[in-house]
Structure 1
Amino acid sequence: MPLTLAEARARAALLSNVSYDVHLDLADAAGSATSEYAVRAVVRFACAEPGAGTFLELAHARDVTVDGAPASYDGRRIALDGLAATNEVVVEARVPYVTDGDGMHTFTDPADGERYVSAYCGMDVTQKVLPCFDQNDLKAPVTLSVAAPAGWTVLANGAPTAVPDGDAGGTWTFATTPPLPPAMFVMCAGPWASVRWAHAGRPFGWHARQSLAPALERDADELRRITEACFDHYARIFDEPFAYDSYDQAMVPGQNWGAMETPGCVTYRDEMLPLGRMTEGERRSRAMVIAHEMAHMWFGDLVTMTWWEDTWLQESFADYMGFRVSEDAAGVDGAFVDFTVGRKPGAYAADQRRSTHPVAAITEDVTDVDVAAGNFDAISYAKGNSVLRQLVTWLGDEPFLAGVNTYLSTHRHGNATLADFVAALDAATDRDVRGWVEAWLRTTGFDTLRVLRDEQGPYLVNEGSRPHRVRVSTYDDTLAPLDSALVDVPASPQPVRLPDAPVLVPNAGGETYARVRLDEQSWAAVVRDLASLPDDTARAVLWSTAFDLVAEGELGSSDFLGLVTRNLAREPRAAVVEAVLAWCRARLVPRHVAPPDVPAALAQLAAACESGLASEPDPEVALALTRALASTTPDTALLERWLVDRETHTGVAVDGTLRWLALHRLAGLGALDAAAIEAERVGDGTIVGELGALRALAARPHASAKAEAWARMLEDPDVSNREYTALNEGFWNPEQLELVGPYLQRYLDEAPAVAAARGQAYTHVLGRTFPAVPLSDADRDALARALDRDDLPTLLRRHWQDRYDDLVAGR
């Protein structure tokens, strides 16, 4: 039973002054057979209406008692009746560990057998860890103690106040936190490898699994530098001081999100700390996420949205600040270029689906937490980021930050809404912020900025309803730069005259959120020689435009592949190479290429990679091209030679990442059997090898291999989130449509029950891994019928509707 908006409003009106004193008993957790832990929570609160009743959430627990007596408990809610003006309730229970990243997640590291236990919370999830009033606007201080095994370190929102002596097990206690929304509770326990230091009068730390200690040591200076640079930058631009007594950051196993902004102890998925080589793009992305999560310490944690219609208030802001601050403070070059070509295209796609919603949704439209879960999407992140960037361009940086600081200071340690944020911005400027908000944040869709020409020369038309301030860049017919200037484009069809130049590119700096359509003359020059355009952001904008043209049916897949063939080999920026090739594999091939043409399309991508490698590119570009070549080449002898030589024919070392990409491809081509995959798994000995082996086993082009993978994916109730994803990536091979095609109906039939049993986070995994293969008209009809099911979980329905809308777009 999901929490509804009406229930949350009623409970918030009834209760106040909530606090939690929590004890978690993990003393036996080092044993891998341990399946549950004990929790004791003392919950104190005031009640505005003595005699009334309410409920605490606690999911899937057993042996639940309240004040020592059996509780009135239905598996999700504990009834609290006959409340007094002030109340103290003691709840004790036994709660299961999970492997799906949705609650008290447990992971045993195959590298050394060590076990890690971490509470990953978030919306509607904290109740899977401890009893609580699981809603944002009942923020409460938390006092935590944890009984942990010998040799373990425990991390939490508060700084530790008592630590067991030596290597003995015992109880860790932590300082009482400032008021936290329940979703922001965190606890991470295990034999962590740690790097600690002091900064700005507080303890700081980075932590990772013991088997990742070499990678942590390798990157410790970089991680510390980025952390301090971002922290000091926020301290300068925000008037409110950092509100928490410590700042730990942990690379944790099995997390579903890229990271979680839990105050005082931020958690990141530990794929961000690989033992093998990291690309510069991966390092930029990690720096951006560090800056993003740190922004949440103020925007989301210090001041928290009241209900989930204002998801954007924390996510859009943090996403914008993550890219901005990683560039401005941490010295990351080109973070917004990565965003423009890698993330922003997903926002345009999302904004054309039936599930689109305003960046700031209407409160009553977010009826419960299941509906809200669907709004953690490309609208709230990538579109919101883009819209805020346009707001700063339109409003100016100084008024923007002044409004932000008024908002934070006015609502510190409390909850707020869009109206509160708008009022703060409005007070900082004489511009019409409220009108801007109505045009940009309360509406869906996007405008089109179209370049046209007539006898007087080129002009720009806004086919939409919002004002834009954008950079228009001009080039000669060889794409050499001529000029660039900011242009105000009104929210009307009135044309804006542009300089008479052979090539014109609006939004060349990516300042706004709008579709771009060039005139025929400009687009012909782009198609001919895009790679020669010197500005990285402008190239990113134009590649993104090409993605959109394909999605809209205005550019055929063969024409797009021609664009790739002519330009990718000369593309100088690795992030653009990675984004283009990733889009081809994830979108172009499974959605826009006819099934018989898939092998030829992949071979054409492989040839483009080979051509780029032959030109001796920058090492980062070479690595991007080599990894893509490993995933697309039909040449089994080439891949086998790499594995033997431990180096590619272009001199790129074959590290663990590249090795498993090659093994996956060899398995999919039928050139690797189960025994060889098992030998590779044993030789690897890490979780990367375990997942890589699952991926390769599922990729083999044999009916028995597909049946075995399917049984593990959809029929094993204990398959973890990472295991499911790896199997899925191997299973749905667009070159094996005859083998995997019949499984689409099984996926549609079986996934709803799995989603209902496993919960919100696992449902996201099921939905995001919708079969990535070309679908026939009959397949689309089957998906349409599945969407008519009455028993389809809300969040899975959202994912499937999105896939259906993508499939019919541009037809």
Structure 2
Amino acid sequence: MSLTLDEARTRAAAVSEVSYDLDLDLTDPARGDFGLVVRIGFTCSAATTFLELTAATDVVVTLDGRTVDPAYDGRRLHLAGLGGTHEVVVDARVPLVTDGDGMHTFTDPADGATYVSAYLGMDVAQKVFACFDQNDLKAPVSLAVTADPSWTVVANGRVTSHDPAAGRWTFATTKPIPVAMWVVCAGPWHSRRWEHAGLPFAWHARASLAAELDRDFDELRRTTQACFDHYAELFAEPMPFDSYEQAFVPGQNWGALETPGCVTYRDEYLPRGVLPERMRASRATTIAHEMAHMWFGDLVTMTWWEDTWLQESFADYMGYRVAEAAAGYPHLLVGFETTRKVAAYRADARRSTHPVAPAAEDVPDVDAAATNFDMISYAKGNASLRQLVTWLGDETFLDGVNGYLSRHAFGNTTLADFVAALDAASDRDAVAWADAWLRTSGFDTIRVERDADATPVLRRLGSRPHRLRVASYDGAGGALTPLDTVVVDLADEPVRLEGWAGRVVLPNVGSETYAQVDLDEASMAAFADGLGRLEDPLARAVVWGQWFDGVRTRRIDPLAYLDVVTRHLPGETHPMIVTSVVSRTLASVLPERVPAEAVRPAVDDLAATFAAGLGAATTDELRLTFVEALASTSRDVDLLTGWLDADGVEHGDGRLAWYAALRWRVVARLAAIGGADAAFVEAERRRDGTVDGELGAARALAARPTREAKEAAWAAATEPGVANRRFGAVTAGLWDVEQVDLLAPFVDRYLDEAPGLAERGQAFAQAVGHAFPAVALSTAQLDAVEARAGDVRSSILRRAWEDALDDRR
């Protein structure tokens, strides 16, 4: 049973002054559970309340020193006889998990080492310890852990004592934090530590990734310090916590989790082999994003889940801003414009769209809140904040932010609190801006029209005020020579761009606002003919974004779009644009817009396009993007096996090294086209010897184009207790846009069995939703999805199915 808004409000009104003292026994993970003793101090003005604790056994509860027998239903411990100040002690055994939702256990196939780490989040703290599992009952947490003496243990606070012989660790009591943001990570970590600005810092990784952490440590340290120092300049409030640990961990469901003082990242951010620059940039953005959460989310925390944006939109915005300004990664908005912002428009056009900041009553329980961790709360919120900064001015924005953080330090807030801080810092109407931008769903359209003398006129279709830059170009002879750029305020009245008659125009050229751009025919034709002559990569990214959106809205025929890709992608020089175009085309356009019978020739045309791009590329970074694209589309067995034999790519200027996941992408493609049998895949798995190999082999085996392979893959994906990463790998290999006839029976199997799989929990339900068939579906199949979606108990899976339907229809 998911916590409801009404229950949370009632409990928050009655319960206060909460504290936790945790003692964990992690010494025997092989038995499948761990020992928990938690002392909870609190004051309660009501006679009854409840704690959450999921699936615990051997539960013993004392209340104020007396053993009691509370009603326990496997999710809640109901307490009675309350009134005043109390202490509850819960002694129990709690299950370990393999799905990344709770105390996750992982055994590394590279060396047999075991790791046990708590990955929390909404409704997950209760899977680790008994607690009041809601954001607005923040509390200090004390922690002691007993573990294998050879292990290292890290958590939210500094280590205050360590007995190596006993494997006993104690940690400083935290500042008041939401229990969803508590963390502990235990195992034989390889650690690199240092001090900066008077605080201890560290990076940790699995022992088998020691070489990779050492390889990247100087960069990781430099990025961490640069972001930390930049936030110190931006924010008046100092770093709220006593240390800053960061760990690359196995099995994390999120890209990273902003747990105070100890951030966890999925360890795919530390790959074996060459790390492309764009991946470094993405990692730096994530580092900056999670560090922003120390203030937005950890220092000041949303009261209820309708204000997810108060944390995620800010961190998303600050992540891009600070990684570029402080960590030194330029053009990050190029990637944002062609990936996350495009995904936000896509999300905003579905039936599940919601305001960036919905009303609390529109998020009635935590399960409903889980569906709002989407590209509206992240990317649309990011873009909206970028527009807010453009509209207010940066200095005023930061004044408002600092007033907000200082006024509510270690407390909980709502949208009204943030708007009040902006109002105090500005003479502009922040309330009206928030109502227009954050309280409404959907997006505006900025349309370019031409008057009688071909002067461009901007017209807004929608309700929001926009401040944006508009660029003009001389399109004579297809040159697209830059002319002028102006800042425009666009609201109810159209804006005529005087003196620009006949020019090619591009609104929102600096990605200042969030609005679909509908270009006039002349401008669209000019970009379709001469995109490569636009020198500014962000301008090119904006144009690609319009083409993506045109295919989504069916304003552009998918085959016409593929023709644009064929003509322009081989000459593209920005790796982020290449990666985005390839990803959008393969993951969305082919399965959702291209008829099934046209998919195979489209893949062949794309492979030829990517090969041309590889031949034209002049840098290894660019070459690697085209190799990645070819690794997903080529039908040339000799080419692909040659790459494997060379463990890289030979080209005219030398040899291009790669990374382990790319090698496995090649193996999976070979398997999909019949060029690698089970023995071949097994030999590769043994050669690899790591978890990358285990997962890569699972994906490749599932990709083989036979009924037997698909049956085995489905059995592996639906095995009881299958680990989250293995499920994702198998289902990624199962679906192939070129195997639509072979996969038809498995579409039905998915629809039959997915609802039961989703009952395992929020995170696994999201994984099941992500595993929606990535092939062209017939009208009858789409009708079957529609008919069954309403009966799905998991709101997360139901939302995923409805989103998939909207994307395709």
CA RMSD of aligned residues (A): 1.1
What is the aligned partner in structure 1 of residue 10 from structure 2? Answer: 10
Contact 2:404 2:421 in 1 (8 A): yes
Give the superposition deviation at 1:491: 3.6
- 2:470 alignment partner, SS class: strand
What is the aligned partner in structure 2 of residue 639 from structure 1? Answer: 640
Correspondence 1:231 to 2:232: no
Paired letter, 2:79 = L
What is the aligned partner in structure 2 of residue 698 from structure 1? Answer: 702
- 2:500 alignment partner, SS class: coil
Contact 1:148 1:170 in 2 (8 A): yes
Mapped to 2, the partners of 1:698 and 1:600 lie a distance apart of: 23
What is the aligned partner in structure 2 of residue 579 from structure 1? Answer: 580
Paired letter, 2:604 = A
Paired letter, 1:645 = A
Correspondence 1:328 to 2:325: yes
In the TM superposition, 1:266-277 aligns within 5 A as 266-277=263-274
Mapped to 1, the partners of 2:530 and 2:241 lie a distance apart of: 52
Mapped to 1, the partners of 2:140 and 2:645 lie a distance apart of: 57
Q: Structure 1: which 5+ residue stretches go unaligned? A: none
Contact 2:467 2:489 in 1 (8 A): yes
Deviations 1:689-747 (A, max 9, x none): 11000000000011111001101112x11211100010011100111111111111211
Correspondence 1:435 to 2:432: yes
Paired letter, 1:804 = L
Deviations 1:549-605 (A, max 9, x none): 001111111111111111101101001000000001100111011111111111111
Mapped to 2, the partners of 1:373 and 1:496 lie a distance apart of: 44
Mapped to 1, the partners of 2:502 and 2:403 lie a distance apart of: 45
Mapped to 1, the partners of 2:493 and 2:59 lie a distance apart of: 62
Contact 1:474 1:481 in 2 (8 A): yes
- 1:632 alignment partner, SS class: coil
Correspondence 1:398 to 2:395: yes
Give the superposition deviation at 1:635: 1.1
What is the aligned partner in structure 2 of residue 776 from structure 1? Answer: 778
Paired letter, 1:588 = V
What is the aligned partner in structure 2 of residue 763 from structure 1? Answer: 765
What is the aligned partner in structure 2 of residue 289 from structure 1? Answer: 286
Deviations 1:256-301 (A, max 9, x none): 0000000010000000001111111111110001000101101110
Paired letter, 1:352 = A
In the TM superposition, 1:350-389 aligns within 5 A as 350-389=347-386
Mapped to 1, the partners of 2:761 and 2:540 lie a distance apart of: 41
If the length of structure 2 is used for normalisation, what is the TM-score?
0.97
Contact 2:573 2:617 in 1 (8 A): no
Contact 1:572 1:618 in 2 (8 A): no
Contact 2:274 2:658 in 1 (8 A): no
Contact 1:158 1:246 in 2 (8 A): yes
Mapped to 2, the partners of 1:725 and 1:498 lie a distance apart of: 55
Contact 1:462 1:495 in 2 (8 A): no
Deviations 1:341-366 (A, max 9, x none): 12110000000111100000111010
Give the superposition deviation at 1:654: 4.8
Q: Report the more deviating stretch, 257-266 or 446-455.
A: 446-455
Contact 1:153 1:192 in 2 (8 A): yes
Give the superposition deviation at 1:492: 4.2
Mapped to 1, the partners of 2:355 and 2:10 lie a distance apart of: 26
Deviations 1:144-198 (A, max 9, x none): 0000102100010011001123xx3421000000001010000000000001000
Contact 2:643 2:649 in 1 (8 A): yes
Mapped to 2, the partners of 1:597 and 1:726 lie a distance apart of: 27
What is the aligned partner in structure 1 of residue 471 from structure 2? Answer: 473
In the TM superposition, 1:368-517 aligns within 5 A as 368-456=365-453, 457-477=455-475, 478-493=479-494, 497=498, 499-517=500-518
If the length of structure 1 is used for normalisation, what is the TM-score?
0.97
What is the aligned partner in structure 2 of residue 59 from structure 1? Answer: 54
Paired letter, 1:771 = P
Mapped to 1, the partners of 2:166 and 2:501 lie a distance apart of: 75
Contact 1:23 1:146 in 2 (8 A): yes
Match of 1:747 among 737, 746, 750: 750
What is the aligned partner in structure 2 of residue 679 from structure 1? Answer: 683
In the TM superposition, 1:518-597 aligns within 5 A as 518-597=519-598
Q: Report the more deviating stretch, 766-775 or 415-424.
A: 766-775
Match of 2:246 among 249, 252, 269: 249
Q: Check 1:649–1:263 CA distance in 2 against 1; reply closer, same or farther (3 A cut).
A: same
Correspondence 1:318 to 2:325: no
Deviations 1:447-498 (A, max 9, x none): 1111111223111111111111111011111112112121111244565657
- 2:597 alignment partner, SS class: helix
Give the superposition deviation at 1:671: 1.3
Paired letter, 1:178 = K
Mapped to 2, the partners of 1:618 and 1:28 lie a distance apart of: 50
Correspondence 1:721 to 2:724: yes
Paired letter, 1:573 = H
Q: After TM superposition, where is structure 1 displaced by more than 3 Å over at least 4 residues in a row?
A: 68-71, 491-498
Paired letter, 2:54 = A
Contact 1:472 1:508 in 2 (8 A): yes
Mapped to 2, the partners of 1:498 and 1:667 lie a distance apart of: 59
Paired letter, 1:89 = V
Mapped to 2, the partners of 1:655 and 1:386 lie a distance apart of: 32
Give the superposition deviation at 1:28: 1.8
Paired letter, 2:102 = G
- 1:23 alignment partner, SS class: strand
Q: Structure 2: which 5+ residue stretches go unaligned? A: none
- 1:353 alignment partner, SS class: coil
- 2:694 alignment partner, SS class: helix
Give the superposition deviation at 1:748: 1.2
Paired letter, 1:465 = S
Mapped to 1, the partners of 2:28 and 2:644 lie a distance apart of: 42
Paired letter, 2:699 = R
Correspondence 1:648 to 2:649: yes
Q: Report the more deviating stretch, 228-237 or 371-380.
A: 228-237
Match of 1:179 among 151, 166, 176: 176
Contact 1:351 1:446 in 2 (8 A): yes
Correspondence 1:795 to 2:790: no
Give the superposition deviation at 1:229: 0.7
Paired letter, 2:116 = V
Contact 1:194 1:208 in 2 (8 A): yes
Match of 1:662 among 653, 661, 666: 666
Give the superposition deviation at 1:70: 4.5
Calculate percent identity across the aligned residue pairs: 57
Match of 1:264 among 253, 261, 284: 261
What is the aligned partner in structure 2 of residue 623 from structure 1? Answer: 624
Mapped to 1, the partners of 2:335 and 2:662 lie a distance apart of: 22
Give the superposition deviation at 1:641: 1.7
Contact 1:64 1:73 in 2 (8 A): no
Deviations 1:655-703 (A, max 9, x none): 4233211110000001111111111101100111110000000000111
Paired letter, 2:770 = R
Q: Report the more deviating stretch, 182-191 or 156-165.
A: 156-165
Paired letter, 2:472 = T
What is the aligned partner in structure 2 of residue 688 from structure 1? Answer: 692
Mapped to 1, the partners of 2:77 and 2:281 lie a distance apart of: 45
Paired letter, 2:395 = E
Mapped to 2, the partners of 1:483 and 1:608 lie a distance apart of: 34
Mapped to 1, the partners of 2:693 and 2:272 lie a distance apart of: 12
Give the superposition deviation at 1:788: 2.5
What is the aligned partner in structure 1 of residue 733 from structure 2? Answer: 730
Mapped to 2, the partners of 1:69 and 1:197 lie a distance apart of: 47
Mapped to 1, the partners of 2:128 and 2:542 lie a distance apart of: 44
Match of 1:301 among 298, 303, 309: 298
Mapped to 1, the partners of 2:650 and 2:620 lie a distance apart of: 14
Give the superposition deviation at 1:792: 2.4
